[in-house]
Amino acid sequence: MAPITAPGQAAALFAELGPWQRALRAQFPIVTANPELAYLDSAATGQKPRAVLDAVQDQLTTAHANAGRGSYPWANASTALVAGVRDRIRTFLDDPEPERSAVHFTSGTTEGLRLVARDWLPELLTDGDEIVVPFADHEANLAPWLEAQRLLERQGVRIRVREMPYQDSSGDYDTAALARLVGPRTRFVAATHVHHVYGGNMNVHLVRQAVGPDVPICLDAAQSVGHLPVSVAELDVDFVAFSGHKALALPGSGAVWARQARGPELRPGGWRGSPNTTGIASLSAALDWLEAAGTERIGRWTVALAARLSDGLRRLDAYEILGCQRSLALDARVQQRCGIVTFRHRGIGASDLGFILFSHGFMVRTDGHCQAGAGERSSSVRVSLHVYNTPEEIDRLLAVLASLT
Ligand SMILES: Cc1ncc(COP(=O)(O)O)c(C=O)c1O
């Protein structure tokens, strides 16, 4: 993705992509029905385009039945839907070896990561092995690994959980320190693609370089799938867990993609029950919509909006931006800031600021953002963007923020 490095560049991008963006924004009924409101909380969940709503309606009113069970036409259609969306996800994630990978449907990223931790990781590990996991990312990408450690310990298998090193205050991984941490007993690394508080692309390609070719990497892609191109071929990771609802599909939909190369196959244990066929249909429609819209352009648009916001905030002394203080992108692959900007007012608490902002029509996230460990424990305000957001919304937001200094 081409980097946005200067305000002038962002302005050119808005001019270039404006007509494209306006056509897409018009496809979100909840957005067009509420022009006085600005939804700035897409990292929590995304709004749904008409195509997704239509696909849900269609699935429920034409051939709705359970999947993988009956043999009458509606049941067959549901079974085919589920199999087809598995392939759709492989293509969407740029899977270089679709015949060797598996896709398991989940209710979201949390369940996907738990599946890997519960049904795959214990088979990989023996006494004395080490895993590296992120202590300052989303709780969903820490708790399952610690649970796996506790469960293994009860079976007499002691594993060491190492903390993924971070660069000071920037929120990015310190991949040089990671390379020093990795040793012959390192068997697994969990990482996040885009940080849900700092908005940084966590340089997962550098994580692969740091850990070498043999260590499986599990990627939390909750904030990247649906926001920018995600290529498992390029990232060389072994698992990708994501949430459908953050990628413009229905709540309760999601998947974990698993490469069956480094380590055992992921075979979800126990009885998993009926698949969420309507959620899966919505995911299929959302991926089609995102691909037609162009995830690369969506990424560039939201990064440009974030650049506009953080450039404006930097001029206001009353605000502190969390995470990397440098420009949105220093080069195309490193330190790329994505469409999330989190900040604090030096004198007004985050939840008060949230109320004030809503009184002006802005919907933002305010709290600790489910961040695990020793991260930003106190509250902050997070603005997270998607393709339906506009530079005018950012300018109105900055005007309100400036009036509070
Ligand atoms: C980085 C990250 N990981 C995991 C999750 C959990 O996603 P879900 O609640 O959809 O399971 C989130 C949700 O905000 C997230 O931002």
Distance between CA 143 and CA 110 in Å, rounded?
Answer: 9
pLDDT range class, residue 169, cuts 50, 70, 90: low
pLDDT digits (tens, 9 = 90+) for 245-259: 999 999 999 999 999
Provide the edge-to-edge strand list for the sheet that holds 340-345: 319-321, 340-345, 380-384, 365-367
Q: Reduced to 3 states, what is the DSSP secondary structure of residue 104?
A: strand
Mean of pLDDT values over 22-40: 98
> Candidates 135, 196, 198, 382: which one to mutate for ligand 1, based on the most atoms within 8 Å of Cβ?
196
pLDDT at 376: 55
Angle, CA of 224, 90 and 198, to the nearest 5°: 10
Centre of ligand 1 to C-alpha 109, Å, is 6
Centre of ligand 1 to C-alpha 280, Å, is 18
Q: Reduced to 3 states, what is the DSSP secondary structure of residue 111?
A: helix
Is the distance from the beta carbon of residue 192 to the nearest atom of ligand 1 less than 6 Å?
yes
pLDDT at 330: 40
pLDDT digits (tens, 9 = 90+) for 109-128: 999 999 999 999 999 999 99
Centre of ligand 1 to C-alpha 37, Å, is 24
Write the CA distances from 104 to 43, 261, 265, integer angstroms. Answer: 23, 16, 12
- Look at ligand 1, atom 7, and give the residue with the nearest C-alpha: 109
Centre of ligand 1 to C-alpha 405, Å, is 32
Q: Which residue has the tokens 């004198």?
A: 347
Is the distance from the beta carbon of residue 384 to the nearest atom of ligand 1 less than 6 Å?
no
pLDDT at 275: 95
Q: What share of the chain is helix, strand, coil (3-state, %, to 5)?
A: 40, 15, 40
Of 87, 78, 392, 40, give the one whose Cα is nearest residue 255.
Answer: 87
Centre of ligand 1 to C-alpha 110, Å, is 6
Distance between CA 169 and CA 321 in Å, rounded?
Answer: 11
Is the distance from the beta carbon of residue 141 to the nearest atom of ligand 1 less than 6 Å?
yes
Is the distance from the beta carbon of residue 110 to the nearest atom of ligand 1 less than 6 Å?
yes
- Token pair in block for residue 230: 């995600």
What is the position in ligand 1's atom list of the atom closest to the CA of 370? 14
Is the distance from the beta carbon of residue 243 to the nearest atom of ligand 1 less than 6 Å?
yes
Helix ranges (H only) for 93-132 are 109-119, 121-124
The mean-pLDDT minimum among 79-93, 146-160, 329-343, 389-403 falls in 329-343
Distance between CA 195 and CA 301 in Å, rounded?
Answer: 18
The per-residue pLDDT of the chain, averaged, comes to 92
* Close Cβ partners of 332 (under 8 Å, ≥ 6 residues apart): 1, 2, 3
Is the distance from the beta carbon of residue 380 to the nearest atom of ligand 1 less than 6 Å?
no
Centre of ligand 1 to C-alpha 186, Å, is 26
Q: Which residue has the tokens 């949230």?
A: 354
Q: Reduced to 3 states, what is the DSSP secondary structure of residue 79?
A: helix
Centre of ligand 1 to C-alpha 184, Å, is 31
Q: Reduced to 3 states, what is the DSSP secondary structure of residue 162?
A: strand
Amino acid code (one letter) for 272:
R
